[in-house]
Structure 1
Amino acid sequence: MERTGTILRGREFDPVEGRVVIDDDGRIEAIEEESVESTDIILPAFVNAHTHIGDSIAKEAGRGLSLEELVAPPDGLKHRLLRDASRDDLVAAMTRSLRFMQEAGTAACLDFREGGVEGVRMLAAAADGLEIDACSFARGSIDAMHAGHGFGASGANDAEFGDEREATRAAGKPFGIHAGEVDASDIHPALDLEPEFLVHVVHPEPDHLERIAEQAVPVVVCPRSNLVTDVGLSPYAELDERTTLALGTDNVMLNSPSMFREMEFLAKLSDLPADEILRMATINGADIAGLEYGLVEPGRAARLLVLDGDSNNLTGARDPVRAVVRRAGVSDVREVVGS
């Protein structure tokens, strides 16, 4: 199997004209540079590095509420709505969000999963039959972590999480934790847990930035969510200078889980270059989760996004990487290879 067009190759997304050759095992066998007729743009499928898709039953609920009123356990609006919904309704709503993500070029999402072991099972049921890796970063118990992909802690001010951290390390799974979303008070305690990644980090102080750099802890940023909840915006350039950044869309209650929208938003409110934002949306999230894709290069799993470079939206674009990050959308998707 092969796909032809402008290929955004490797970690630098060097645009080359040619073909991607895919073997029978679904891996990239070769990238062959040559003149082709196709105007398609071929890039890695996205990895959405932070989601909460359980609240897909409550899209655009909670207008005017604070972050705590919206999502704080146990009595935030989100959690009340989750308790009141049936299992079938929750699974059906999550399936619709996962289907949208797949159609919008996302190969995987890292979901901070409420509901313990049953929550992990519900996400698996929602993803059944879809070609998207819905990775459960479970909460609620060590058993839930064992059932899922890793552990996703709510925040170091909510509990100590020491036992969960040790169990996750022993299981060889990643441990992620929210930190610095509302204020800086939980960043040092989160870093004390030596997590595989932090989420948000809106309010780091100089000593937090130093520790993040020293510990080489990746950070997943969620700019649209942070804007909606009025907690502020992360210091993207300062974080990018010190560590690896990845990109997530956060709560489906608040935002469409579209990586196109997240990339464009970040590109137009920050000084981060387009190629760095595309890495945040692909390989950096894949690396956090230990996935085998995220780049177009030989040996990688062929989870690819093919865009119509001759669409009314993209035709005439002089810089394909900037066009993908700042301009492309779901309507430009021609195909998601590997789905």
Structure 2
Amino acid sequence: MERETSIEGFALIGEELSLRPALIIIKDGVIRSIEEVRKPKKRWILPALFNAHTHIGDTVAMDTPVDGDLESIVTPPDGLKHQILRATERSTLISAMHATIGVMEKTGCAGFADFREGGVDGVSALREAAVGSTIRPVIFGRDGGELYSEGFGISSVRDISNLDYAVEAARRAGKMIAIHAGERDANDIEGALAYQPDLLIHCTHAHDRDLRRCADEDIPIAICPRSNWILGVTRSPNNPPVTKMIELGCRVFLGTDNAMFVQPDLWREMAFLSDITDLSARTILEMGIAGSSLSKTPYWIEEGKKAPIMTINPEDSNLIYSRDPIRTLVSRCGISHLDRILF
């Protein structure tokens, strides 16, 4: 017997996030129909969010006082975060990751792409942490864990020896390749592009030529603006050059990066990006959803698609006075405004 649910309100439809008054019929998780209505309920309906870059294992190091540059904090194998991870019991690691997954779930995030240290056991620990949750990780493993996950997560092409062999093995196994590039400088971007990755992370200091290549080769970029500012790799709204990325036709996703420093809340990430750039609210919201393509089932609300959906009731707060719902979603919304989540 099919389970049927209906949602009525102002919905953001398709990849264009076109705002329409609609009645959406869902059967067994699949959107069966989207019907236009004249006087919809005062509810906002939108796709779930997808966090395109996280390190949630680093929850165990949350807000640890640090004194040093980016390399001394996060570069494997002996950066501060790696030292803390090695000293953490497996049960504590799993519990911490489970708690952070719960936080993301409450924000309306239906999936996330995580770089997971610890080899095969690290990947296994994250899968165990996700048990009982409706949110699903796309895992980029390391140290052998890439062969037991969805992809290979590379810190930087300059950090790993025998990288050619490891990438080739991951490709033979049908795994995605994701690489940190251009975070502290632009010197590792060209090397990263040589591997034809499925995803680049950061590109904080990318040059126009790098971005044109990403656009031409359809290599998406996951940016993490708050992390870049907090870790001191930029103090400029032009780094990452996200406006140029959009102008050149790059696909841009949004991530929160390291749970050691940044709460994995895409509402905060979107609001921050809105504050420091002139990007349209619609473009920023697209970034917060578009990373779902990494899960192979993008979240756009379209007929025939199995898309996770969330709703917001503006009547429950001052949001009812909004004259631009999409701008309000990006700049003002958060956990407290979510009315219903259907994953």
Counterpart code for 2:14: G
Aligned 1:126-205 pairs, distance under 5 A: 126-141=129-144, 144-159=145-160, 161-205=163-207
Name the SS for the 1:4 alignment partner. strand
Distance in 1, matches of 2:57 and 2:205, equals 26
Kept in 1: contact 2:102–2:133 (CA 8 A) = yes
* 1:54 lines up with 2:57 in the alignment: yes
Unmatched 5+ stretches in structure 2: none
* 1:224 lines up with 2:226 in the alignment: yes
* 1:214 lines up with 2:220 in the alignment: no
Shift of 1:35: 3.4
Q: Which residue of 2 aligns with 1:13?
A: 17
Name the SS for the 1:262 alignment partner. helix
Note closer, same or farther for the CA distance 1:74–1:297 as it changes in structure 2 (3 Å cut): same
Deviation digits for residues 185-227 of structure 1 (CA, Å, limit 9, x no counterpart): 1000000000011000011123323322332211100000000
Name the SS for the 1:216 alignment partner. coil
Q: Which residue of 1 aligns with 2:330?
A: 325
TM-score by length of 2: 0.93
* 1:307 lines up with 2:312 in the alignment: yes
Which range moved further: 205-214 or 86-95?
205-214
- Which runs of at least 4 in structure 1 moved beyond 6 Å after TM superposition? none
Distance in 1, matches of 2:172 and 2:96, equals 34
Distance in 2, matches of 1:3 and 1:302, equals 13
Counterpart code for 1:299: G
Shift of 1:36: 4.6
Kept in 2: contact 1:153–1:161 (CA 8 A) = no
Distance in 1, matches of 2:174 and 2:82, equals 30
Q: Which residue of 2 aligns with 1:234?
A: 240
Unmatched 5+ stretches in structure 1: none
Which range moved further: 76-85 or 125-134?
76-85
Kept in 1: contact 2:30–2:305 (CA 8 A) = yes
Aligned length: 333
Distance in 2, matches of 1:165 and 1:94, equals 27
Kept in 2: contact 1:104–1:258 (CA 8 A) = yes
Q: Which residue of 2 aligns with 1:260?
A: 267
**Aligned residues: CA RMSD:** 1.4
Counterpart code for 1:278: L
Which range moved further: 200-209 or 254-263?
200-209
Name the SS for the 1:21 alignment partner. strand
Note closer, same or farther for the CA distance 1:37–1:169 as it changes in structure 2 (3 Å cut): same
Which range moved further: 197-206 or 167-176?
167-176
Deviation digits for residues 17-54 of structure 1 (CA, Å, limit 9, x no counterpart): 12111012x11111111135522211000010000000
Shift of 1:137: 0.6
Distance in 2, matches of 1:166 and 1:299, equals 36
Counterpart code for 1:98: I
Kept in 2: contact 1:13–1:321 (CA 8 A) = no
Task: Identify the match of residue 336 of structure 1 among 333, 336, 341.
Answer: 341
Shift of 1:161: 2.2
Shift of 1:295: 0.6
Deviation digits for residues 91-127 of structure 1 (CA, Å, limit 9, x no counterpart): 0000000001001100000001111111110000100
Distance in 2, matches of 1:95 and 1:12, equals 33
Deviation digits for residues 50-92 of structure 1 (CA, Å, limit 9, x no counterpart): 0000011111113443212221222222111111110000000
Q: Which residue of 2 aligns with 1:279?
A: 286
Kept in 2: contact 1:179–1:186 (CA 8 A) = yes
Identity of aligned pairs, percent? Answer: 39
Deviation digits for residues 290-314 of structure 1 (CA, Å, limit 9, x no counterpart): 4313211112213011112213242
